Amino acid sequence: MIAVENLVFAYRQQIQTLHGLTFSVAPGEIFGFLGPNGSGKSTTQKILTGILSGYDGIVRLFGKPINGRQKELQEKIGVLFEFPYLYTNLSALDNLNYFASFYPAEQRRSIDELLDMLEFKKDFVHKPVSSYSKGMRQRISMARALQSNPKLLFLDEPTSGLDPQGAVLFRKIIEEERKKGTTVFLTTHNMMDADLLCDRVAFIADGEIKVIDTPKKLKEKNSNHQVEIDYLYQRKRHMTVIEMPRLRAGISFPYDEIISIHSKEPTLEDIFIQYTGRGLL
């Protein structure tokens, strides 16, 4: 679906933003693109969505180079920006009808269905966007990104500004889109989103991809293979950490009751810091 080879981009001649990125995204995959501010992830997304040109390297979407075919490609993609950009003087319905008008009629999804799916409050549909909360605006933005029935969806911080219930709903919708065969390119700082949603993640820092793999494999590779055991002994609560291979021989220390056993896996953020030497923010 997306194939990028040796992508190089510089906003000015002296300042190179991307230093030869190479990665690919398979059809129907949810691909996480993680990096701190200024790492080059927004620039990459702008190139992929046809906003930025003037790069070196090969960028293919749907198996074809994007240069000179931006309009054709933009009919097939949906983009959700980090901030809910909408006409605040217009209602949700007017906004969605307006943005839908740029796509072929047979490609458009029903606005009512989208609003239902996003659990948007019906009585606000005709009110101007200026009266909406950030979460409501984000739902309309998501509807805008989905209304063209895109084959490839670019999501930038999709759950930002949403309450936990809204975030769960958005993750469910992204999963459902993937089940329909939509490819998702997810740019985020949110490690929980990346961990829960992504088939693979790429860590980008200073314009270079440091690693690409599945979250599970990354955790396995970087695990220290330890487990944390919480237990009761002589009416007192204790906690100990032991190497996993030692578990095969059974629990060797005295105890009355085991309360919990957890593997001490690193989080994606720990792994990110390990690879890039810096945090995500």
Partner 1 sequence: MWRGFLSLLKKDFQLMWSSKFLLLAFGSLVLYSCYINFLYVNLDQDIYPVYLYDPLSVQQELSADIVRVDSLEELNTKSGDGYAVGIDMSSGTPQVTMVSSNIQKTDNYRAAYALSLLSPSNQTVSEITGKDNKEMKSRREITCEFLFFELAAVGFLGIASMLFKEKQMGVVRIHGVLPISKTAFMLSKLSLFLLSDLVFSTFLTVINLGALEGLLVLPYVLAQTAILSLIMALVGFFCAVQLPDFKQFSLLYLVLAVFITTPVFLVGQTGIAWSWITYHPMYHLFMAMKNAYRGMPSANGVYYTICGLTIILLFLLVRQALIREMAKEG
Span from 74-82, 119-127, 230-238, 255-263 in contact with partner 1 (CB under 8 A): 74-82
Task: Report the sign of the C-alpha dihedral through residues 190, 192, 193, 194, in that order.
Answer: positive
Residue 218 binding partner 1, by CB under 8 A: no
Q: How far apart are CA 66 and CA 49, in angstroms?
A: 9
**215 SS3 class:** helix
The tokens of 115 are what? 């609003």
Span from 69-77, 112-120, 185-193, 226-234 in contact with partner 1 (CB under 8 A): 69-77
**Sequence-ordered list of residues with C-beta below 8 angstroms from that of 234, at least 6 positions apart, any chain:** 256
Please report which residue ranges of 147-190 form alpha helices under DSSP H.
164-179
Smallest separation (angstroms) from partner 1 to the CB of 83:
5
In what helix (H) or strand (E) does residue 116 lie, and over which residues does it extend?
A: helix 111-117
Residue 71 binding partner 1, by CB under 8 A: yes
**Sequence-ordered list of residues with C-beta below 8 angstroms from that of 80, at least 6 positions apart, any chain:** 141, 142, 144, 145, 153, 154, 155, 156, 158
Smallest separation (angstroms) from partner 1 to the CB of 180:
21
Span from 48-56, 110-118, 167-175, 239-247 in contact with partner 1 (CB under 8 A): 48-56
Q: Binding string, 104-133, against partner 1, x = CB under 8 A?
A: x-----------------------------
Which residue from 16, 20, 36, 82 is in contact with partner 1, where contact means CB under 8 A?
Answer: 82
DSSP 91: B
Span from 16-24, 102-110, 228-236, 250-258 in contact with partner 1 (CB under 8 A): 102-110
Task: List contacts with partner 1 (CB under 8 A).
Answer: 42, 46, 49-52, 71-72, 74-75, 77, 79, 81-83, 85-90, 94, 97-99, 101-104, 144, 156
